[in-house]
Structure 1
Amino acid sequence: MHIDQIMFGTVKSSKPTVVFVTGAWHKPHLYASLLESLRKNSFPVVAPCLPSVGGVCDSFYDDVNVVRKIIADEISQGHEIVVLMHSYGGMVGSAAVQGYSKQEVPRGGGVIRMIYMAAFALEAGVSLMNALNDTPLPWWRSANEKQWQAANSSYILYNDVDASLAEACAAQLDLQAKGCFESKQTYAAWKYIDSTYIVCSRDNAIPKQAQVAMASQPGGRFTIEYLDAGHSPFLSVLHQTVEMIRKTIWEPM
């Protein structure tokens, strides 16, 4: 299998590996500042490129399988894992960890925490489109039969980011496979694994109230944290984002 991914911190420490799952339209290099900052805090990081970004997948299973393979590889080495997800990545990360929690792995390793950063945390059997009342958002532009384009992305995704940086990031967004948004969630990881939801209060993509609602679902094992930021806090408030993630992963242990 060919997997394009960014890998940081190949020398393992006592800290868990962060498996980072990107949002729709985004490839890992757009998160480089966040991933590098985590590495500087001694967290090994693996950030795969999802096949649906720039691809024409009919479902999210191609994405899920890429992330599951990475998690399985880390577990085979006895490593504990924190899954950090942004936006659509919450769908993929949740499904990918089924059967891999610390409690389910016979000896050593396993997923110890999920972090949803302005991410979709949906019940099993619910698709992203279902969560949006089966209506595409106004800023999704149909590029072709199989792919969405993110329109007006500087305002929607990067509203609190420096204008020149926002424009540069928007220009690097890829097309997104439509089929992934139709896929039903297969596993609500937040019910079974300790989870943190980072609510981005000024988010123009997933409104604050929607994020809080997802983090407040019955049966959830969520701790809720807040950032005064838009949908991309890893660009607008990098230091605060890294500190929040660092404390979430390391200090409670």
Structure 2
Amino acid sequence: MKSTARIKALATAGIVSGAVVASLAVTNASAVTTQANDHAVASQAAHRAKPTVVLVHGAFADSSSWNSEIGYLRRHGYPVLAIDTPLRGLAFDSAYVEAQLKTVKGPVVLVGHSYAGEVVSQVAAKTSKVKALVYVAALIPKAGETAGSLIGQFPGSQLVSENFRTVPLPGGDTDVYLKADKFGTVYGNGLSTSDIQVASVTQEPVALSAFTDKATVNPPARTPKWAVISTEDHAVPTAAQKFEAKRVGAHISYTRSGHDVPSISPGAVDRAIVAAADSVR
């Protein structure tokens, strides 16, 4: 722009012609437009470069448990997919999530809450597009371990049979619910009373076999991991979460929350997901 002004001054002095002035003005305008277009393309490329965040809920929940995280991530330009897993056991749920990931282009940050920690570990070991893992109040198994053994290795869990309502199903499996009057204590401590009352009625059942299915693979050692550990958890003891996160080398953060961390303490989850996503870009 400065060069255009200089040529205009020279033209006024009779040193250059008006045609040169017009030509240079067009050239400079074109350069400005090109720079603007380059900036827009760069911005779009930066947006596309963000990995897709795939959220996998745990037992007794559905994908709406991630509503707060979904809103935060979308506001900050992250592609997001929240999967409604069937909760039919480790093998079935892992295959279901793996099938969903085949529809996602580019790298993935895979996030699992509670029981879904087992699911995302299995999937990440088999799917190369998973570039980072985030565990939220989650079970992190090694091959041969079960949800029941992981939960029971430290004292304090109230995920026990006397707090379950069970429904035998055709075919031999059994659905497990938390008793409505125990839901707030076991799962939702930290939620409001009204939210607990609604969640206790709308909870999704999990197959009893999910507690006894054995992990068939270890979480991939080279995939970076983050773990959000809840310090007031009555479902998966805090000590169990910490032990499992440390042995896989996860970056650990703590939040004062009951087991339903995605709903009770979404900010802690958001920070872990962003840190994981930053490791991919």
Which TM class, normalised by the smaller chain length? Answer: 0.7 to 0.9
3-state DSSP class of the match of 1:242? Answer: helix
Q: Deviations over 1:149-208 (max 9, x none)?
A: 112111211111122122222221022111222211122215341111111111111111
Single out whichever of 227-236 and 130-139 deviates more from structure 2: 130-139
Higher helix share: 2
Going from structure 1 to structure 2, the CA distance change for 1:176 and 1:168 (only over 3 Å counts) comes to: same
Residue in 1 aligned with 2:142?
123
Note if contact 2:125-2:220 (Cα within 8 Å) is conserved in structure 1. Answer: no
1:237 to 265, 268, 271: 265
Distance in 1 of aligned mates of 2:125 and 2:269: 27
Single out whichever of 220-229 and 184-193 deviates more from structure 2: 184-193
Establish whether residue 191 from structure 1 lines up as the match of residue 225 from structure 2: no
Note if contact 1:190-1:221 (Cα within 8 Å) is conserved in structure 2. Answer: no
2:160 to 133, 137, 144: 137
Counterpart amino acid of 2:174? K
Distance in 2 of aligned mates of 1:199 and 1:70: 27
Q: 5 Å matches for 1:53-132?
A: 57=88, 59-74=89-104, 77=105, 79-101=106-128, 110-132=129-151
Counterpart amino acid of 2:271? E
Note if contact 1:83-1:111 (Cα within 8 Å) is conserved in structure 2. Answer: yes
Counterpart amino acid of 2:94? V
Question: Structure 2: 5+ residue runs without aligned partners?
Answer: 1-46
Q: TM-score, normalised by structure 2?
A: 0.73
Q: TM-score, normalised by structure 1?
A: 0.80
Note if contact 2:66-2:82 (Cα within 8 Å) is conserved in structure 1. Answer: no
Larger Rg: 2
Residue in 2 aligned with 1:50?
85
Going from structure 1 to structure 2, the CA distance change for 1:124 and 1:49 (only over 3 Å counts) comes to: same
Note if contact 1:86-1:117 (Cα within 8 Å) is conserved in structure 2. Answer: yes
Shift of 1:94: 0.8
Distance in 2 of aligned mates of 1:208 and 1:13: 37
RMSD between superposed Cα atoms in Å: 2.2
Shift of 1:61: 1.8
Going from structure 1 to structure 2, the CA distance change for 1:45 and 1:252 (only over 3 Å counts) comes to: closer
3-state DSSP class of the match of 1:84? Answer: strand
Counterpart amino acid of 1:125? G
Shift of 1:49: 1.3
Question: Structure 1: 5+ residue runs without aligned partners?
Answer: 1-11, 102-109
Going from structure 1 to structure 2, the CA distance change for 1:223 and 1:80 (only over 3 Å counts) comes to: same
Single out whichever of 148-157 and 235-244 deviates more from structure 2: 235-244
Distance in 1 of aligned mates of 2:200 and 2:124: 30
Note if contact 1:64-1:95 (Cα within 8 Å) is conserved in structure 2. Answer: yes
Q: 5 Å matches for 1:192-231?
A: 192-217=222-247, 220-231=248-259
Distance in 1 of aligned mates of 2:222 and 2:210: 23
Shift of 1:240: 3.7
Establish whether residue 37 from structure 1 lines up as the match of residue 76 from structure 2: no
Counterpart amino acid of 1:115? V
Equivalenced residue count is 224
Establish whether residue 249 from structure 1 lines up as the match of residue 259 from structure 2: no
Shift of 1:133: 5.0
Identity %: 22
Going from structure 1 to structure 2, the CA distance change for 1:252 and 1:93 (only over 3 Å counts) comes to: closer
Counterpart amino acid of 1:226? Y
